[in-house]
Amino acid sequence: MTHVPSLEGAKVGVVVPAFRVAPQIESVIRGIPSWVQTIIVVEDKSPDDTAARVEKLADPRVVLIRHAENQGVGGAMRSGFQEALRRKLDIVVKMDGDDQMDPAHLAAFVEPLLDGDADVTKGNRYHSPNSLAAMPKVRVIGNAGLTFMVKAASGYWANFDPANGYVALRREVLERLQIDKLPSRYFFESGLLIELGIVRAVVRDVPIDARYGDEHSSLSITKTLFGFPPRLFAGLLKRIFWRYFVYDFSAVSIFVLLGLPLFLFGSVFGAWLWYSYATKQQFASAGMVMFAAMPIILGFQMLLQAIVLDVTGVPRFPLCEPLRESARAVKEARSHARGAD
């Protein structure tokens, strides 16, 4: 029997970006459990009859949004998030329209958000070898190349499947984000995680099984491995700036401020020194070599320490309060107990 969470008045909604998913969309909507109050389907200028099939279901929970132009999954989710905020949904879950995200996991995504244990929950397909074996090889290769880069850019080093699109968020977190500036197309999931890292939301993994049907993957290994890195690097710089120089100033800020100039100076000066002496066919003195090497060594050590502190500084305290009274009472009791100690 599927677990039904105790919502205690909390409103849960699902946003479904829909593009060329006519064969699957009816199954997706029918599979969403009855305790989900609102289903926002964003038909992203799909050339098939996706919208007609959604309307034919006549599910009173469904809100159909139709785009006049195709905006990609990111554009569809922006429209869905804005509608969810307008309807004041407490928890918003993203489920793709291709029927690859099992609705049986919905309760596991929602429970930590109801209890205030996390601000965001995200699917993890790497929790077992069997789940990993079920994934098409093209996705395994693409995700393997993407995972480390997304971890570095977002700061969520402990999350094992950052490219996964099955995600649930609290309304309070969505209100902190600039939804209209979230990325379009397939960079949406990575860009969303970077923005969550900037506001320091707690993201918890939810073990799920990989589920694939006869649909063809639109994942391009070339686009993933060569198109994403520049955008992820820009996201890393953005997160570091806002996290360590605007919202806070910590040891990481100092290490970056000192380490980066030292490393760059040593590298540039060392390269120039090598070229200068090589063209003259002479050997540099030990003092000149050390003058170039020491800034590199010191700068590298400072940057390495900044990385270590960033890895250990993953957010642990949720921004959002529990939605369930029982969980709120437990957290208050624990807080009083800590205060008494």
- 78-133 pLDDT, tens digit each: 999 999 999 999 999 999 999 999 999 999 999 999 999 999 999 998 876 666 66
- Rounded CA gap, 54 and 29, in Å? 8
Q: What is the reported pLDDT for 223?
A: 64
- Rounded CA gap, 306 and 82, in Å? 36
12-18 and 91-94 strand pairing: parallel
Q: What is the reported pLDDT for 153?
A: 95
Q: What is the reported pLDDT for 326?
A: 74
Q: How far is CA 311 from CA 200, 211, 305, 307, in A?
A: 13, 31, 10, 6
* DSSP summary character for residue 186: G
Band the pLDDT of 161: cuts 50, 70, 90. confident
What is the rounded average pLDDT for all residues in the chain?
A: 89
62-66 and 38-43 strand pairing: parallel
Q: What is the reported pLDDT for 80?
A: 97
- Which of the given ranges, 123-137, 226-240, 302-316, has the highest pLDDT on average? 302-316
> How crowded is the C-beta side of 50, counted as CA atoms within 13 Å?
25
Q: What is the reported pLDDT for 247?
A: 93
Q: What's the CA dihedral at 120, 78, 246, 160 to 10 degrees?
A: 40
Q: Which CATH superfamily is domain 12-242 in?
A: Spore Coat Polysaccharide Biosynthesis Protein SpsA; Chain A (3.90.550.10)
Using H for helix, E for strand and C for coil, what is the string for 65-83?
Answer: EECCCCCHHHHHHHHHHHH
Q: What is the reported pLDDT for 119?
A: 98
Residues 317/108, Cβ–Cβ less than 8 Å: no
Could you tell me the pTM of the whole model?
0.88
- Of 14, 68, 78, the C-alpha closest to 43 is 68
Band the pLDDT of 142: cuts 50, 70, 90. low
Q: How far is CA 175 from CA 57, 195, 261, in A?
A: 31, 12, 37
Mean pLDDT of 292-305: 96
Q: What is the reported pLDDT for 323?
A: 94
User: Tokens 């529990």 sit at which residue?
Assistant: 322
Is pLDDT of 215 > 80?
no
- Of 318, 307, 302, 317, the C-alpha closest to 157 is 307
Q: What is the reported pLDDT for 219?
A: 53
Look up residue 208 and give its two tokens: 């799920």
Q: What is the pLDDT of residues 34-64, one digit of tens each?
A: 999 999 999 999 999 999 999 999 999 999 9
Band the pLDDT of 169: cuts 50, 70, 90. very high
- Rounded CA gap, 323 and 330, in Å? 12
Mean pLDDT of 197-209: 94
Look up residue 136 and give its two tokens: 């098409």
Can you give the residue ranges of every domain in the chain?
12-242, 249-312
* DSSP summary character for residue 103: G
3-state DSSP assignment of residue 42: strand
